[in-house]
Structures are given as C-alpha cells and as structure tokens.
Structure 1
Amino acid sequence: MSCRDRFVLCKTLVFLDASDFMSVIGVVRSHVASRVILGMILSLSIPIAQAQVTPDNSVGTIVNITGNTADITGGTQQGTNLFHSFSEFSLTSSTVNTARFDNSTGIANIIMRVTGGSISRIDGWIQANGNANLIFLNPNGIIFGEQAALNIGGSFLASTADRLKFGDGTELDTRSTTPPLLTISQPIGLQYGATPAPIRVEGSGHFIFVEPDPFEIVRAFRPVGLGVGTEKTLALIGGRVELQGGNLTAEQGQIEIGAIANSTVSLTSTTSGWNFTYPTNATFQDVVFAQGSSADASGNSGGRVRVQARNVKILDGSSLLALTLGDGTGGLVQVTASESVTLRGEFVFNDFPLLPSSLLTEVNLGATGQGGDIAVKTGRFFATEGAKISSSTAGEGNGGQISIGANTIELQGDSPNFGSTTISAASTGGKTGGNGGLVKLTADTIRFVDSGAIISNTNGGGNAGSVEITARTLDFVSGSEFGASGIFVETFPGSTGRGGNVSIVAEQFQLTDGALLVSSTLGSGDAGALNLKVNRLSISEGAQIVTSTSGSGNADSITITAQTIGLQGADGQLPTGIFASVNPSGTGQGGRLTIDTQRLSVLNGAQIAVDTFGSGNARGLSITAREIELAGSASQGRSGIFAGAIADTGAGGNIFVNSDRLIIRDGATISASNFSSWGQIPSGQGAAGNIDIRANTIRLNNGSINASTVAGGRGNIELRSNILTLLNQSLISTNSQGTEPGGNIVLNTDFLVGFRNSDITANAVNARGGKVTVNAQSLFGIGERDRLTLESDITASSELGIEFNGVVQINTPDIDPTRGLVKLPESVSSAERIAASCEQSKDNAFVVTGRGGLPEDAAQSLRGGTVWEDLRTPTAGNIERPTIAQTSGIPEAQSWVVRSDGQVELVAAQPIQAQFVNCAVQR
C-alpha cells in the first residue's frame, strides 16, 4: 500500500500503546476544552445560566436540589407525554451537575422547555427513568460542554425551535410562560423562527486512529460524549449547529443534525426514535464539525448519521462514522447541504496524527456484515488536505456505496501525514475479504487536483469496488509527492479478487500533468474494465489511461467512444497515452483497446498501445475514426499506435484501423513490431503483431507502418485504400532481423504513390524475405527492386542472397491504349488542304494540349506558353444564299427592300452578300 491509499501514514511515526496514549489524553482534554469553552462563551451575546435548574411554575414542575443533583418531579402528564417547563436550565461540573427526571415507566415522551432568556449550558448528566424519550427545547440556544452526558433509556432531541407541534393541531410555545394547552398527541413538528439560536457541543476530540497492519479503525479511546442507548436517536436541530471537539454517539442508532430557520421540520415516531423531514424550500443554516469532533453511529449493524444544512464543514480531522462492527446490515452517512460540503484537515495531538477529516461507513476488521452507504447532495463538494471518504471493507462483509451529487465536486491536495485526498471503495480483508463498494459521482464539474483520487483496490479474495462518474466537465490535473491525481482500481500481489470496473460519461474529459486512470492487477484476479463515453477527450503532459497486468490475472478492456480524442506530449520518461499492456513479470493476457471517434490526434510523443513487456500476450487494438492524425515525437520516442511484443516472450497484439482519412507524419508510426519505440528497452522474443488498415486515403509523410520483428515470429500488414501515398522516407515494413522470414504485406489500392526514398519492404536478415502483394490501378514514383536504393522501392530481399529473396507481386490492370480505335480506310489528305470554317456567334473551339496554360506533362510544373496567332490578313469571299422557291400560297414576309423609285416592298427572301472569315491557314 502507498500513502495514497486510505489512511496509511505517509511519514515515519511511532504508534503509541494504550498506556502512552492515555497518559496524554487528560492534558489534551483539559487544554482543548478550556480553549473551546472560552471561545464559545465570548462569541455568544445571550447570557448563560450558571448551574440553574429553575421551574417557571407553568406546568407544575418541581425541582429539589440535593448536593450536586437536581431531582425533577411533578410536571403535567397527558397520556404518555410528560411536560416540564423551566425558566432556566443549566448544569455545571462545580455545582449542580446532574438533572434527574423522576418519571413513571409508562411515560413515552418527556417534553421540557426553557422559557427564560438564557442559554442552557449542559456540563453534566441528564437522566430519566425507563425508556422515555427526552425532548429539550430552548429557543435561546444550547451548549453541551465536554462533561455533558445522557443517561436515558429512549431517544434525545435538543432543539431551539419556537414551537413544538402535535398531531391534534395544538402547539407548545417555547417562549411563553402562560400555562399551555397540553395534549396526549404525539409531537409531529418543530416550528423555527427567522433567527433560531445555535446549538454547540464541545469536547477534546475523538481520539480515533488507524492501525495500518492489519488495517483497523481503532475507536477504543473515543469519548462517548453526548450519547444515547443502542438503536436510539440523538438529534440536534437548531439554527447554526457546531461541534468543537465534541462527540455524538448512537450505537447502531441514528444521529440527526439539522440547521434550519423560518421553517417547520416534521417528526415521525419510530421504534428507534424519530425520522425527520425538511421542506425543500427551507432556509437552512450552517453545521460545523471542528477540532477532531465526531458523530458515531457504528455498531454490530451500522447506524445512520444524517446532516441537513446550508453549508457543512468537516474540519480538523473531524469524522462522521457508521461502521459495521459485526454481522449486521450496513448503515448510512448522509449529508445534504443546499450550498456546500467541505472536508479539510486532520486531527493531531502531541504531534501524533490521528485521523483526517472523513466520512466513513467501513466494514471493520473481523466483521461479517455489510458496509454502509455514504450519500452527499450539495451545490459544491470540496475535500482537501488528505480528507477521506470511504465505504471500504476490512472484514468479510461487502463495502457500501458512496454517492455524491453536486454541481461541483473537487478533490484537491494532500496531507503530510495521510497523503492524498481520496474516495475509497477498497477490499482489504485478506483471503476472506468482502467485495469493495461502489463509488458514484454525479456533477456538472468534477476535478481531481494535486493527487486527489478515487481508490478502489483489493488485497485478498474480495473484488475491488467499481466507479461510475457522470459529469459535463471532468478534469484530472497534476499530482504531488504522494502520487498522481486520478482513479486507481487495482488488485494487489497475492490477491485473487478481480478489479472493479470504471464507467465515465462526460461532455469533456481532460487528463493532464501526469494524471492517471488505472485499472491493473498484480495478483491472480483480473483487472477491471474501463468504459468511457465522452464528447471530447484530451490527454496531455504524461497523463495516461491504463489497464495492465503484472501478475497472472488478465488486464481487462478499455472502451472509448468520443467525438474527438486528442493525445499530446510526454512528461519526462512517461509518454502521454492510452495503454492496455502486460507489464514485466506479467503472465496474464493484456487488455483489449477499442476506440470509436470522429477525430483522433496523437501528437508529439503521445501513444496508444496494447504492448506486452512480459510473457503474457498483448491483445487487440481497434480504432474507428473518420480522421486520424499521428504526428511527431518526443525525446524518448515516437507518436503512434502500437501493439508490440516489447520484451520477454509475449506475442504482440493486432491493430485494426478503419478510417476515412489516415495521416502519419513527422516520424510517427503504426507499429506491431517487437522492439520498443520509447527509451532503451531490449527487444522482445515474442511474435510481432498484425496490422489491418482500411481507409479512403492513407498518407505517410516521413511516417511508417511497421510489423517488423527482431527475434520473434513475423508480423503482417494489410492496407485497403483508394489512395496510398508515401513521401519523404516513409516506410511500410515487415522486415525480420532474426531467423524468421520477413512478414507479408498486402496493399489494395487504386493509386500507390511513393516519392523521395519511401519504401515498402518485407526483407530478412537471416531468413527468406517475405511477400509483398500490390493490387493497384496505377503506381507512381515507386517500383519493384531487388534491393533498397535511394529511390522509392518495393523489396522482399534477404541478406542471405538473391536465392532467398521473397516475392514482390504487383497486379495492375492490362490496358491497351489502342483498344476501341478504328483504322481509317484511306490516308488523310495533307494538312495544307484542310480548311476549318467557323461562322460568327457559333460555339466553335480550337484546343491545343500543352499550350495556353495547360502543361504537356502532369508531372511538370506549368510553363509560360504563347497562344498561337496567325498574323496574316484573312481573305474574304462572297457566298450567295439561294432564293426560297415561290409557292402558290401567299408567303409570309421575311424581309423588306427599297425599290429604285423609293417604295418599300415586303419580300419573302432577299439575295444577300455575306462576308466570312477563313479560320484555317491557307498554305
């Protein structure tokens, strides 16, 4: 495990044993408590009662103080409800520190109000008989000090509401001292005014820490704080609610924290207390957990922790927990905030880091029950400084689901003690471990920055959890010393469980500056699948999408569907890319890689690959795109598409490309060879892969398509294209440098064009040359040769000698240029006797190829030519139009003439004299 994983400490620390731990707790508690109490007192403008339990005489409440205990009797009973009313109600450790309600066991609800103008400060015990619930109402505010505790058999509700509503329509006014109209009905609602007072819980922190090996969240030193019995409800609902080092406990029960104003919160009675419902249009206030505070509903079955507010801040290593400790069902941590949820910081005492700020529903070590869920709904979710959100399992039970819905989700930064800020759905229970949970994020914008990450791994028999992300914009940006930003779904060495799947749906997905999306296996279980459906995918500066195997398990598939995909650059020794590979020592099979897009660009050293560096075989790579551009290189290697057998004995994969337009330029390549194009890596011994490309146009400009082999079996290339162009030392090659024959090349194209020393080769060094088959309408600039020259060549030679040369077969149509011509019966007269006449205003033309702006040879540049002109004077002649014969009918007048006597006469036709220009040369 790395310091990016869950709670593993990221610097060398000495874990304290129990005696060391307890020896400093007292000092820390005293210091923190005094500081917190002073701060709270100074910040409140409402006076605080000093150890006063005083009835207001409105409902018959009687208080008898004996020593440090206030015994409370009397009150008014209506059905199973018992009402008490006080003008002041406060407890301190130095005077009256216990308030004991002496109720009959038949009472279901003790309802107490404080009608005076003072805040209640509770720094002692509140007790009641039987299983009665206690509802504590003070509209002026309530502070629970570090010594505050409950000893009641039922549930507890503390509220700063103005009124308590009942099912029969009656209300209990918390501000009036007038004797109220009391009822036997159950309470159904809390009515809050425009500015309800706050509720605060103080303490010295939770003292929860993590034992890394074996992994366990240790709660043995956690103070109970304000707590209720098993499967009961503890609720704090007021204006602003703060926990400053305070602890709330409801073992496998429910903890409810609400901050609200000018609204009514509905109550529904249950066997475990109450359920609370907030109006959707409510005016919410803020909830703050600070100084290592906690709300813990863990138990044999996980309980529920619910927070409803405007802004929820979980700071200084504070934690909300609903762990599964036994064989029960999982619980729930639910945070709903109309504006924001923030997790930041860590809880440290005496330089000992205890816990980062966290939301936890894990299955603890040895537990067999199911993990709980984490549900967050807010406008902005922000976790930083090593914060953890985890539904992982360290036991036999399965982890729960983490669901975060927000406009913006951001995981940022790290902690010197706890590493990266993470969301985790891991399985760490060893051979009998359960499956990891599901992480589901839905937002308009999601950002993982400076090592923010999702972790889902397994170290045993359980499967790692899966990840589902839906966003308009998804950014994985940069990393830190503790690791890269991104998603990591992994199986560790020795594990048999498989990795989880990752599904991403986004308008725009950007990975940059070394960010990673990884699904890998180092064990015998298979890695998980990566499925991306995005509009625009951008990967740059060494960022990568990876599925890989370093063990006996197989890597799974990467499937990407996008409108545009752009990969660019590298980061030092790491190319930007998409990889489905077998790593060194990997014996499992590599993953499949499928890409479907309109436009794919791979530039400046970026790569797409299904390579193998181990004994496992690489699998296939399939790309369908309207346009593909591969260009450039970086200092350590070329841009391109690869399916090679780079090292060890594994065979290379196959490449299939289907595109309308494929461009490979400036050193880029498509390669299924068994030698590396990145860094100084020894050549592999496995067979090279095959390449099958179908495109309307394929254009190589100082680019290559390569299935050559050094030591393993040969690779083959088949290209189908209307136009195949090779320029500037471009290469199509299935050469063999080992003992295997050269591979086969099949080119099916209408036009094959090769210029400037561009070659097509199936040569061999220590074996027979391969076979090159060209089926084309025409070849331009390239031709078959026995050996390579400085021209553009097609060869299948062998260095063993000409008798070991392979075959070059060029199939072009047999076209007879004289086919279809008819021989004239006589010789044509001399040209001098040919006259071409043309009448004005007719569509006559005279064309000479190679003159007047048309070159004689399509391969030559345009030469300035002179249009031919005859400078001699044309001769003129007369031609007589015949007179139209007269008929017996009256002809229609066609013209008119003027007679010698000056009269105008209409005529049917008139002999005319017409000039013509002789368009031929008289010789």
Structure 2
Amino acid sequence: MHQIQKLLQKFLLSNFFILACAPVNAQITPDNTLGTEASRLNPNVLINGAPGDKIEGGAVRGSNLFHSFSEFNLDDGERVYFGNPSGVENILTRVTGGNASNIFGTLGVDGTANLFLMNPNGILFGSNARLDVRGSFLGTTANSFVFPNGVFSAKNPQAPPLLTISVPFGLGFGSQPGGITSQGNQLGINDSTLALIGGEIALDNSVLFANNGQVQLGAVGGNTTVGLNVNGSELNFSLAEASRSPIALTRSAVFTDGDSAIKLIGGQINLNNSSLFNQNGGSISFDATGLSLDSNSLIGITTEGATKAGDIQIQVSDAVALANSSKILSNSGDSATGNGGDISINAKAIAITGDGISENSSIISTFTSGQGNGGNLTLNATDSININGGFVSIATDGAGNAGNLTVQAGNAVNVTDTGTLSLFSNGSGSTGDLRIETGTLRIQNADAPGGVAALANRSGRVGSISIQARDAVEVINSLINAQVAVGSAGRAGDITINTQRVNLKDGGNVITSTFSNTNAGNIVIRASESVDISGVSPSNSLQITKVSSATATGATGNSGNITIETPRLTLSQAGAVSATSVQSQGNAGNINIRAKDVELNGFVAVPKEDVPEQFQLSVNGLLFHSELNSQVIGSNADVQGGTITIDTERLRLSNGAQVNTSIVLGRGQGGNLVVRAIDSIDITGTGGKRNDGSFAPSGLFTELQTGGIGSGGTISVETGHLNMSNGGQISASTFNQGNAGDIAIRAAQIDLRGENTFIITTVEREARGNGGNLNIISDRLTLGDGTEVSSSTFGRGNGGNLTVNADQLELFGLAGLFSAVAPGANGNGGKLSVTGNQLIVRDGASVDSSTFGQGQAGDLTVNIEDLVEIVGSSSDGQVSSGIFATTIGSGNAGDLSIRTQRFSVRNGGKVSVATGPDSTGQGGNLTINASDGVEVVGFSMIIDSKAFYPLAAKVRGKPEISPSIPRVSMSKIKV
C-alpha cells in the first residue's frame, strides 16, 4: 500500500521528446478589409529589451482592438508583438486567407491586453513557439467572433461593428473547422488563460502551462457556436455536446499551478504517455464524448500547503478507459494542511486495466499523507465499470482523513484479474466508506490483496463497505475484505450487501477480521432471492468459499457478527459461514441466519498429491465440508464462542455438512446453537473419509474438543419435523477439561433412521467434565435401524440427564434411548426419564440406563399414560427388545420405575434391573405400576436379579417370578 504514496508523488513528467519541425518563412500580411484602420507591421522594434516586429494600427472599438491579416505566420526565432494602445483590453485578430497559421517563434502583446488569434484554416505551434502574453490568449479556428450586434468574420470579412462593445460572447464555426496542433514546444502563460478552441486539437511532445491561470482546450464539430465569457484576463467557454472533435495528447503535458484550472471539452480525448497536472488549488475538468489514458498517462492534482486542492471532474457521454500504467490521482501531500480534491468520473462505461497494486498498474486514487484530508472519489457509469487488474482506492498515510469511495454503475461492476477497490488507512487518519451501487457486482480472480478491500493498518479507522446490487453479487476466487492489521488501533468497518442473488464460489470470500485490539466489522447480507456459497479456490491457496469474521493471531478484539437474510441459503462443496476466534483473546462473533430454506451439502476431498507443499503435513490429504461454525481455536484466554441462530422453514444438512459451535483448541466457552425451523430439519449422510478412517457426519455440534478447556455451548432445536438418517448427528460433547453443553429439542415429529445416526451428549474418554442434559419434547418420536438418543460418560465426569416427553414413542431395529457410564469412566450416569402416551419398543430396540464403569447409573423412569409395549428381538434373534437398568461394572445400577395403564412384554421382550456376573455394583429397584395390568407373553422376561442371566419361565397364563426378586411390585397383572 505504501506504493500508492510513491505513485502520488510522481506527478511531474521528467522529460519530453522534442520533434524537429521544418522552419517556415515568416509572413504577416495585413489585408485591406479594415480600410484606413488596417493593421501595420513595424519590424526591428525594441520590445522588452530585445528586437522584434510590432503590429500596430487596427480598428479600436471601445476596449477592443481589431486586426485583420491575409497571412499570419512566425518564423523560427522571430518575435512578433501586438501593440497595446491605452484602454484596449482585448486584441482580436483574424486571418482571412486560405492558409493555416504556422507559429514557430514568439507571439506576444506589448501590454496587458488579452490576445485572440482566429484562423479558420488551422493553427500550428511549432517546435520553438512561445507565448509572451500577460493577459489571456485564445487561439481558435472559428470563422467569426460573435457580438450582440454582429460578427467579426474571417470568411466574410467586414469592418468590426461600430457599436461600442466590451467583449465577444461567442465563436462561430463553419462546417469543417481547422485543427490546432502544438509540436515540440512549451506554451505558457501567467495569471490568466491559455485557450485553444478549434476542430481537432493535437499536442505532440508539447507542454502547455499556466501559473495561477487556466489552460483550456476545446475541440468542436462543424456549424457550431461556442459561448465565450471574458472577465478581465479570465476567459471561459462552453460547448454544446452535439458537435465535437477529438483531442489528442501524445508525449505531452498540461500544467497549472495555484488557484487555476485545466479544462478540456471535445469529442474523444486521448492521452498517450501524457499528463495533466495541477498543484495547490486548481481543478481539472473534462467534458467529452470519450476519454482514454494509455502508456503511463496521468491526470493529477495535489496540494502541499494550506490551500485546498482543486477537483478532478470528468464528464463523458461514452467511455473512460485507463490502460498501461495510466493514473488519475488526487493528493494532499506530506506537508499539507489543506485538503485534497475530489475525483468525480461520470460516463457510460469506465474501464481500468492494470497489474493490481503496483507502480505498473492503472490507478484511480485520492490520497493524503499529511494533516489535510483526502478527497472523495466517485465513479458513475450508466452502463458498466470494469476494473481488470486496475486499482481504485482512497487512502490516508497521515493524520488527515481519507474521503469516501462511491462506485455506481447502471448494469454491472466487474473487478477481475487482481483488480482492486480499496479503502486504506496507514496513519492516524480514518477513511470514509466504500459504497457500490449497480445491477450486478462481479469480482473474479482478484486474489488478495485484490478484490474489494478495507484495511486499517495503524490507528486510523477504516470505513464500511456497502454494496447495493439490483440483480446479483458474484465473488469467484476473489474476496470482499475488511481487516484490522497487526498492531493497528483502528477499527475495520462493516460489510453490508443488499441484492437479489449472492453467489460465492471457487474460493470467493466475504471476510472481516482483526489482528489487533479493536473489533472486526460485522457482515450483513440480504438477498431477496438466494445466497449460494460453494467450492474451493483452484489456486494453490486452497481457499474455501466462505462468509467469515475472525479475531486472529494475537488479537484482543472480537470478531464481528454475521447476518444473512434470504429466502434460500445454500452451502455446498465445502462452502462455509464462519465466525471464529483463532489464537486470539477476543470473542468469536454470532451468526444469524434468517431464510425460508437453508441447505448445507457436500464436501471437497483434496488428495495428498494435489495438496500444495505448504499444507503437506503428516496427512493423507485435505478434507473440507460445508459448514456453519462459530469456534474458538487456540486461545490462551477465556474467550466466548459465538451463538449461531437459524430461523427458517426448512433446514437440510447432508453429505457431511455441519453446524458447529465448538472449542477446538485453547480456553473458552462454546457458543450456543439455536435452530428454529417451522417446517422441517433434515440431517442425513456422511462426508469424506478423514485421516483416522472415519467419515465426517452431517449434523449439529457443540463440542469441547481434545485441545479445548472450558465448556460447550447449548443446542436448541424447534421444528415441525426432525428427520435424521444415515449417519446424521446432533451432539454436545466434551473431550477435554470442561462441561459439555445441553441439548433441547422440541418437534412435532422426530424420525431417526440408519446406523450411526444419533442425538447425544457425552463426556468422552480423557475428558474431565460433566455431560450436558438432553431434553426432547415431541408429539411423535420414532427411532429405528440402530439409531440412538443418549447421554453418556466415557471419562471423568457425570453424564447428563436424558428427558424425553413424546405423545407417541416407537423404537425398533436396535435403536435406543440410553444413559450410560462406559467402561473406564469415573463418573455417574444421568437420569433417563421417558414421558408420553404410548411407548413401543420392538425388534431389538431398548430403553437403557446402565453402568459399565465405576460410576453409578442413573435412574430410569417411564411414565406413559396409555400403553408400554415391548416386543420381540433383533432380526438375528441376538438382542432382545427391552427396558433395562443394569450394572456390569463396579458402579451401582439405577432404579427402574414404570408407570402406565397397559404394560405388555411379548415375544422375547425384556424388562431388567440385573447386574452382570462380574459386576461388584448393586442392582437397582424395579417398580412397575400398570393400572390395567401387565401382559407377559412368549419367552419374555421381567427380571430383578443380581444374576445377569436368571432362569425365567415361558410365561403363559400366570407369570412365574423368581423368588429372588422380592422388590418387584406389580398390580392387576393380566395373564
């Protein structure tokens, strides 16, 4: 970014090539159109201390002096001056012959009058041409000077109007105006105006300058009248847009200094290796059909003192194009206390082509490096703005504030191939905001530091990025980035996107981040149709596609919040939304999703041979999944993970996609996860194979992972229908030092299908902390095919309580509700409570509270209003359906209490409070209260025994109960 300052300080062209021009013979020939007032040429007159030719005579009308010549040429080295009688303020000269005027010497006024030179056939200023005029100079190829009461014409020469007049108010051009050319010279003026108004205007290896004055170039078409405004030595003109001719500057420069101006009005204006530059107060303006800058061309304004710099205003009806290291710059310099000027460009289309952030790039920028404020920068195109490797920026490197950057295009803004739109604060000054308004914003292949960026590098604040796109925002292998750099005390602004569609893919990123003690900015995305986030960058960076806010290495500031509002949000092929704290003391931000449909799907697996060298650790490859996450990674402080809130009608997670609030590494409190889905939540399938051989599950997770210390967040789910299958999971677990979070689920209907599909809270092995509570409320809960709802401890800590309240509960096919203390665990199991209207357990499913370790199993309580039915066994006959409260370890089993109206155990079903054969723990009490009786049919068992495999009779009719179970209490047993 420091390159910007260097570029802004290189305003002056170092040299200009001078073309040799063939000399012409001096020829100044008065005509006879003025009669007795004809012009006279007096040679060899001492003028300003040197010999020269003096033009006298002419017709005086008020403050105007009129001259008329048939030929008007100056030879190389010749000095020709107009006499300036007392009271004359304007000298108006016409050339009535058929030849152009060739000026190769010095043309001046022996006084302070303004000089007007008119030749319809053309004017050429040669290699040694020079102006010595203290008033203004106007060279024109008009046919006539226009006055209120007549004209002074070169084509129809008459005597000047007799009425006393002050100044002409117009120039009348014929059908084919002659051109004006300046070759290999320096034409300058002081404290007044240098104006060239003709057909085509061409500057070749030339310099035009005005100290405390103006330089004006006007290129007109045929049959045009140009308005003139002459006020003393100040001259201005106006030109209708309808009829204009080209202006070309080749290896040339136009300079002004002080309170002055440069104005160009014409058709197509081309600058080739040429410069227009003003310092200390002046402005530069263009009014043209088109403007092209090529080959290191420059348009620049600067101030170094207390004076405010002027503005650059470009008004073009067609296109503005910058290429090959060309620049438009406004600077408030190191020693300046005055403010920099604004840059305003209005066109149909704007194109900036370059090489990114480098001296060789094409740049449009306002910049301040002192105490003065930088100017605003506005690009406005009715059609499109294309920044193809070009660089557009507002920046501050000092105490002054930078201005605002506004980019407006009716159809599209395209930022491609290292192109950049940028806010940058590298001092104590702050920047303004970046605002983009367009139909479609497309940012493609503009890798960092390209793209759209806002960077706070020191103590100054960087402004916000606001994007209003009528149709779409597309970010492809590029980024929109707001960042607080290492050591900066400034704050990065927010990123706000309002559009119809957002499409991020192939490593496209929207990011806010802080590496310092101030907070990262917030991200707000509102899309009236959809937000799609997918893919991984095809470059060696392996950048996943994401919307992200982070507090990063060494930072103490917090990451920003992320809000996405849209009818449809899709994250696929490793697309992500992330708010994280990474090796930072700052908190992770919150994520708020409000969408009608939310879908997370898929993963990207990168084989080891395709992994760039910088990522090749001891891995078999890299695996990226689609995810929403707010995580703490590597913090040494007690930081807070962010909360993820999803409000939707439908949420679908598949093929390894995850929503995750976890403490991955370091200290912290896991963020909460809240999902409210009016219609449904579908969680299904697994993703790619991980390095440990397992497959990444789809699901909702809040975890205190292996390297984490603290506590996990909670998971809260509310929906109409929760569907989980084929490895889908909801998990709140602790793997290290700290408690797992709670899970609360409320759904009208819950269906779980397939192996490794579960809802769990766990204390994992090596963990030291308690498991969270798991609460489920549903009208209908169905678990099948090996699915699991459980609360378990495998480590040093108590398992959480599991509470299920469902009107209809059905478990089948090795599915289960479990509260468990695993082998080797040193903690108690949580209580398992089941409440509802009907409970059906069949085909090998179970409701089980057990201990396999040192801890006590939790009590199991079943309160069912109507019917408890336990039927059969697994399809292979190896596992009985049942309700169990057992101990197989050294810990005691919990009590089992069943209360219902009807209780049926059939076809191999079991109810057991047994202890294992090697268990040293005590079995719990079994209480069954069935108001309409208990039915036990067909090799079924109700067991209360310390023997794990007690004798049990085939029960038909009155059941046989082992005499060793006096604690069994049953009423109204139905046989």
TM range (shorter): 0.7 to 0.9
Which residue is equivalent to 1:762? Answer: 761
TM-score, structure 1 normalization: 0.74
Which residue is equivalent to 2:402? Answer: 435
Larger CA deviation: 612-621 vs 404-413: 404-413
Q: Which secondary structure does the structure 2 equivalent of 1:284 belong to?
A: coil
2:700 equivalent among 705, 719, 743: 705
1:477 equivalent among 441, 444, 448: 444
Shift of 1:471: 1.1
Amino acid at match of 1:322: I
Which residue is equivalent to 2:694? Answer: none
Which residue is equivalent to 1:61? Answer: 39
Amino acid at match of 1:395: G
Amino acid at match of 2:64: N
Which residue is equivalent to 2:672? Answer: 690
Q: Which secondary structure does the structure 1 equivalent of 2:396 belong to?
A: coil
Shift of 1:485: 4.2
Within 5 A, what are the aligned runs for 1:326-475? 326-345=305-324, 356-385=325-354, 386-414=361-389, 421-429=390-398, 432-475=399-442
Kept in 1: contact 2:348–2:382 (CA 8 A) = yes
2:18 equivalent among 33, 38, 46: 33
Within 5 A, what are the aligned runs for 1:277-316? 277-280=238-241, 282-291=242-251, 293-296=253-256, 297=261, 301-316=280-295
CA spacing shift, 1:69–1:513, aligned 2, 3 Å: farther
Shift of 1:620: 1.4
Amino acid at match of 1:61: S
CA spacing shift, 1:551–1:184, aligned 2, 3 Å: same
Kept in 1: contact 2:511–2:549 (CA 8 A) = yes
Residue by residue, what CA displacement relative to the aligned partner does 1:609-638 show, whole Å, maximum 9, x if unpaired?
A: 111212221221111111111111223421
Shift of 1:142: 2.7
CA spacing shift, 1:51–1:567, aligned 2, 3 Å: farther
1:126 equivalent among 107, 113, 120: 107
1:645 and 2:644 matched: no
Partners in 2 of 1:471 and 1:478 — Cα distance? Answer: 20
Which residue is equivalent to 2:659? Answer: 670
Which residue is equivalent to 1:841? Answer: none
Q: Which secondary structure does the structure 2 equivalent of 1:708 belong to?
A: strand
1:631 and 2:614 matched: no
CA spacing shift, 1:450–1:746, aligned 2, 3 Å: same
Shift of 1:714: 1.4
Shift of 1:762: 1.8
TM-score, structure 2 normalization: 0.71
Q: Which secondary structure does the structure 1 equivalent of 2:18 belong to?
A: helix
Within 5 A, what are the aligned runs for 1:823-842? none
Residue by residue, what CA displacement relative to the aligned partner does 1:208-244 show, whole Å, maximum 9, x if unpaired?
A: xxxxxxxxxxxxxxxxx333324x4333333232333
CA spacing shift, 1:117–1:444, aligned 2, 3 Å: farther
Within 5 A, what are the aligned runs for 1:470-619? 470-479=437-446, 485-492=450-457, 495-522=458-485, 523-563=488-528, 564-571=530-537, 572-613=541-582, 614-619=584-589
Q: Which secondary structure does the structure 2 equivalent of 1:646 belong to?
A: strand
Q: Which secondary structure does the structure 2 equivalent of 1:735 belong to?
A: strand
Which residue is equivalent to 2:742? Answer: 744
Within 5 A, what are the aligned runs for 1:820-899? none
Shift of 1:271: 6.7
CA spacing shift, 1:128–1:438, aligned 2, 3 Å: farther
Kept in 1: contact 2:393–2:405 (CA 8 A) = no
Sequence identity, in percent? 28
Kept in 2: contact 1:123–1:148 (CA 8 A) = yes
CA spacing shift, 1:811–1:464, aligned 2, 3 Å: farther
Kept in 1: contact 2:195–2:215 (CA 8 A) = yes
Q: Which consecutive residues of structure 2, in runs of 5 or more, have no partner in the other structure?
A: 45-49, 262-276, 355-360, 606-622, 686-697, 795-812, 839-863, 869-975
Shift of 1:484: 5.4
Amino acid at match of 2:532: G
Amino acid at match of 2:776: V
CA spacing shift, 1:785–1:735, aligned 2, 3 Å: closer
Partners in 1 of 2:319 and 2:397 — Cα distance? Answer: 31
Residue by residue, what CA displacement relative to the aligned partner does 1:627-666 show, whole Å, maximum 9, x if unpaired?
A: 1111112234211212111232443221111111111111
1:620 equivalent among 579, 590, 605: 590
CA spacing shift, 1:78–1:659, aligned 2, 3 Å: same
Residue by residue, what CA displacement relative to the aligned partner does 1:466-511 show, whole Å, maximum 9, x if unpaired?
A: 222211122112137xx5542221111xx21100222211123444
Kept in 2: contact 1:439–1:465 (CA 8 A) = no
CA spacing shift, 1:735–1:87, aligned 2, 3 Å: farther
Amino acid at match of 1:233: T
1:259 and 2:182 matched: no
Count residues in correspondence.
Answer: 740
Which residue is equivalent to 2:915? Answer: none
Larger CA deviation: 611-620 vs 171-180: 171-180
Work out which structure has the larger RCO, using CA pairs closer than 8 Å and 6 or more positions apart in sequence: 1
Q: Which secondary structure does the structure 1 equivalent of 2:309 belong to?
A: coil
1:229 and 2:210 matched: no
Q: Which consecutive residues of structure 1, in runs of 5 or more, have no partner in the other structure?
A: 10-14, 42-47, 205-224, 346-355, 415-420, 676-682, 820-923
Which residue is equivalent to 1:724? Answer: 722
Shift of 1:301: 4.0
1:658 and 2:647 matched: yes
Larger CA deviation: 497-506 vs 62-71: 62-71
Which residue is equivalent to 1:321? Answer: 300
Shift of 1:188: 2.1
Amino acid at match of 1:184: I
CA spacing shift, 1:785–1:566, aligned 2, 3 Å: closer
Partners in 2 of 1:437 and 1:725 — Cα distance? Answer: 50
Partners in 1 of 2:682 and 2:200 — Cα distance? Answer: 67
Kept in 2: contact 1:772–1:807 (CA 8 A) = no
Which residue is equivalent to 2:825? Answer: 801
Shift of 1:806: 4.4
Which residue is equivalent to 1:733? Answer: 731
Partners in 1 of 2:247 and 2:350 — Cα distance? Answer: 14
Amino acid at match of 1:443: G
Shift of 1:381: 1.7
The RMSD of aligned alpha carbons is 3.2
Residue by residue, what CA displacement relative to the aligned partner does 1:825-846 show, whole Å, maximum 9, x if unpaired?
A: xxxxxxxxxxxxxxxxxxxxxx
Partners in 1 of 2:820 and 2:144 — Cα distance? Answer: 97
Q: Which secondary structure does the structure 1 equivalent of 2:703 belong to?
A: coil
CA spacing shift, 1:344–1:52, aligned 2, 3 Å: farther
Q: Which secondary structure does the structure 2 equivalent of 1:689 belong to?
A: coil
1:162 and 2:138 matched: no
Q: Which secondary structure does the structure 1 equivalent of 2:569 belong to?
A: strand
Which residue is equivalent to 1:76? Answer: 59
Kept in 2: contact 1:598–1:625 (CA 8 A) = yes
Partners in 2 of 1:63 and 1:770 — Cα distance? Answer: 107
Kept in 1: contact 2:415–2:446 (CA 8 A) = no
